[in-house]
Structure 1
Amino acid sequence: MHPTEKAAVPTRVIGLISGTSVDGIDAVLVDISGTELDLKVELLAGATYPYPAELRERILAVGAGVAISMAELAEIDDAIAQVFAQAAQNIQIGHQPATLIGSHGQTVYHRPPKEGAGEQGSRREMLTTHGLNPSYPLTALGTSLGYSLQLGRGALIAHLTNIATVSNFRVADIAIGGHGAPLVPRVDAYLLSHPQEGRCIQNIGGIGNVAYIPPRHGDWLSKIRAWDTGPGNSLLDLAVEHLSAGAKTYDEDGNWAASGTPCHPLVEQWLNQDYFHLPPPKSTGRELFGVTYLHQCLKDAQAYQLNPADILATLTELTAASIFYSYRTYLPEMPQRVLLCGGGSRNLYLKQKLQLLLGSIPVWTTDEVGLSADFKEAIAFAVLAYWRHLDIPGNLPTATGAPQEVLLGEIHQGQF
């Protein structure tokens, strides 16, 4: 890999993302220099811009599977792009303008790849028949590739901001057989690794995901492991909205849950869910841990006569327990430190529960090692756009399950 001369010059980049909680658009303005091991990022500004209430409701409905027409889908796609473009404009106020935008967009649907042993055999026969390499990891003639849809099209963002925009980051990894998720671990590797210390970078957004990063020596990059651990804030936020009759959308600092008592038999029951027992690489979303799943949890809780605080405490315990189970079951070794980021890193009750499960392993936030816990995901997509600009691969095959590294994202030029 020989990056272009542009790598030596600091580049001002905007990163944009709205996660599965659909809380709003996280936007950052950063200066980036270097390429990989010498990568440096300076956060100049970070802010979260809430969605208009009506648009948020429409996004949540689409994510929950409500049927809409193609015309309505196009309308929502455009509306999201317009709000993202406005966020990009706002985050630059008072600063020199950016030259590049990396926009993850808003995920409304994610389907991991599926392929059983029987399918593999028939696939090999089909590929051989058509003169193709049967060991090639794609089901080129089948339907087992994953699918992921992010709304807020990059072409419109580029048009409205007049700034080159990279979007659709997941599709290239999915096209070669990967999950298209998680995509942040390669960025984590270069910004948060340590020469002597093995670390787990645990993002707790709507969905939780982990990147295990071994000490930075030898063939360390190939030993990184990453996957979606399961629910992060998704069930908690949905439950808070349900239990408060819409008066609240999240449990600030975990205070409501902290006033309750978790029901451990329920947590053990919920941990039997198939997803927790799938080996990585794996990915998930609201399609599994969404409204339908919450309603089943509430139904299960009726047998224990739990009050609202107890229900929230139990769901919080599930998030912590699923993370711990994931580490204990699928990591090559336990980390020497856990670094939290995402909205869930501010949930003090959740952090406390995770610390109790991990015992002597310290649980910090990425703030404590110099990278914003609130805006790390937005920073990551700014870096991924920067790498795409330099023709540097952005995925990590050990994280997504893809057979090789690929360039991530589609580039849309601004107006001329």
Structure 2
Amino acid sequence: MSGTSADGIDAALVEFDTAGQCRLVHGIHKAWDDGVRRQLLEIGQARAEPGLDALGTLDVRVAEAFAAATLSLLDAAAVPASAVTAIGSHGQTIRHRPAGACGDGRHPFTLQLGDGNIIAERTGIATVADFRRRDVAAGGQGAPLLPALHAALLAAPGEDRAVLNLGGIANLTLLPGAGEGTAVRGFDTGPANALLDAWCERHTGHRYDDGGRWAAGGTLDDTLLQRLLAEPWFALPPPRSTGREQFHLDWVHARLAGTERARDVQATLLELTALTVAQALQREQPGTSRVLVCGGGVHNPVLMARLAALLPGTPVESTAGHGLDPDYIEAMGFAWLARRTLARLPGNLPAVTGAAGPRVLGVVYPAAS
């Protein structure tokens, strides 16, 4: 898995029991090559339009990196490739346009790099990739795709829960405690680490705000916050999803007066993340009893504390306390989806994505015989 932040590749070795429950055997994180990362970020926020040769080359380089991460994971876990049934590869999203390139609903698409042929060939393991486009073809958002996994692993009868993934983009999974027959819902709430990391790197040279300390030293700029919140996307009802092509540094700069201190902007972007999550949760599931957090943002205590303050009386806690490593849930999810693909079972939830119905997701690239 490599998400919107493009901070690196998370690789998870996952074991399933006969009932379909899964556990993390081992996980590793591999940083992107600096040149590849720079290209991915520039393309992802529409600051570069590569030619076909450059795009084709990048597709192969991303796949090579995924394959190398897989082999490093297996080496670290001392597990042979022959013991692995399949790889589930999310790919690297470079453009996500579920409303079409012009926003008019015509010709919607989502595009991920990382050719499954390359991964299967380099690892010798069958690979399932391209999970999002079938849902988009069926009229869905193509995201988020992991609420079904969250429901399987983190739902609790009698307790309305929310799972919050604080990746490059923040998204919520709503898990009603009423149980069977109650619809699980999920949607993106807006930017998270994609903006926080990018602004921090631009102004400090560090790729992320370690511990949220830089933001903590800034002052909230309420005037800027209101300009950011005026973005029409925030008013869209679920199902909805977004990406770096919507929320990027140029989007921030277009809303600055030009006199703001960089550190105050960081503090304001952190507030934007926390507030849009809290507002969405209070609007869509006001009776939430517990928020379980995963993704890189779980390691930002300033962001976690702000979320808790905006959701008084509702525990905001890491999924680690519920037996799931918050750094690898996303990668585990694509192993889970790959398993469903091989079993010809649907991987999407139409109530989440808005697709016309359940669909088997992904394309299978067999291992060489």
Please indicate, yes or no, whether the TM-score normalized by the shorter chain is above 0.5: yes
Work out whether 1:240 is the aligned partner of 2:193. no
Equivalent pairs counted in the alignment come to: 363
Q: Tell me the alpha carbon deviations over residues 307-341 of structure 1, each in whole angstroms, 9 at most, x when there is no partner.
A: 33222111100100111111123x14331100111
Is 1:277 the equivalent of 2:241? no
Amino acid at match of 2:113: L
Q: CA offset at residue 44 of structure 1?
A: 1.0
Query: Structure 2: any 5+ residue segments left out of the alignment?
Result: none
Instruction: Kindly state the Cα deviation for residue 196 of structure 1 after the two structures are TM-superposed.
Output: 1.4
1:146–1:178 CA contact under 8 A, matched in 2: no
**Are residue 106 (structure 1) and residue 53 (structure 2) matched?**
no
Matched, 1:22 2:29: no
C-alpha deviation, 1:145, in angstroms: 4.4
The yes-or-no answer on 1:349 pairing with 2:302 is yes
Separation in 2, partners of 1:216, 1:79: 46
Equivalent position amino acid for 1:388 in 2? T
Cα contact 1:145–1:175 (8 A) shared by 2 = no
* Distance in 1, Cα, partners of 2:116 & 2:16: 21
Aligned Cα RMSD in Å? Answer: 1.7
* CA deviation vs aligned residue, 1:277-309 (integer Å, no higher than 9, x gap): 000001110111012112224x23x3xx44332
Match of 1:229 in 2: 189
- In structure 2, the partner of 1:322 is 276
Give the AA of the match of 1:87.
A
Q: Which residue of 2 aligns with 1:31?
A: 15
TM alignment of 1:11-410, pairs within 5 A: 17-34=1-18, 38-65=19-46, 66-93=48-75, 94-97=78-81, 98-113=84-99, 144-215=106-177, 217-220=179-182, 223-244=183-204, 247-297=205-255, 299-300=256-257, 302=258, 305-329=259-283, 331-410=284-363
Q: TM-score, normalised by structure 1?
A: 0.84
CA distance in 1, matches of 2:56, 2:213: 39
The 8 Å contact of residues 103 and 381 in structure 1, kept in 2 or not, is answered as yes
Question: Would you say the 8 A contact 2:289–2:315 is kept in 1?
Answer: yes
Q: What letter matches 1:173 in structure 2?
A: D
Structure-2 separation of matches of 1:275 and 1:264: 19
1:74, 1:265 → 2: CA distance?
Answer: 43
Q: Percent identity?
A: 39
Amino acid at match of 1:241: E
Check whether the contact 2:174–2:285 (CA below 8 A) recurs between aligned residues.
no
Shift of 1:39: 3.0
Structure 1, residues 143-170: CA drift from partner, whole Å, max 9, x if none? 6242100000111100111100000000
The Cα offsets for residues 323-368 of structure 1, whole Å up to 9 and x where unpaired, read as 1111123x14331100111001111100011100001100011111
Letter in 1 for 2:266: L
Q: Partners of 2:147 and 2:324 in 1: how far apart?
A: 14
Question: d(CA) in 2 for partners of 1:156 and 1:319?
Answer: 36
Asked whether the 8 Å contact 1:238–1:294 carries over to 2, the reply is no
Distance 2:229 2:364 in 1: 41
Greater CA radius of gyration, 1 or 2?
Answer: 1
2-side partners of 1:229 and 1:193: how far apart? 20
Query: CA shift at 1:243, angstroms?
Result: 1.0
Following superposition, the deviation at residue 96 of structure 1 comes to 4.1
Q: For residue 234 of structure 2, what is the amino acid of its counterpart?
A: F
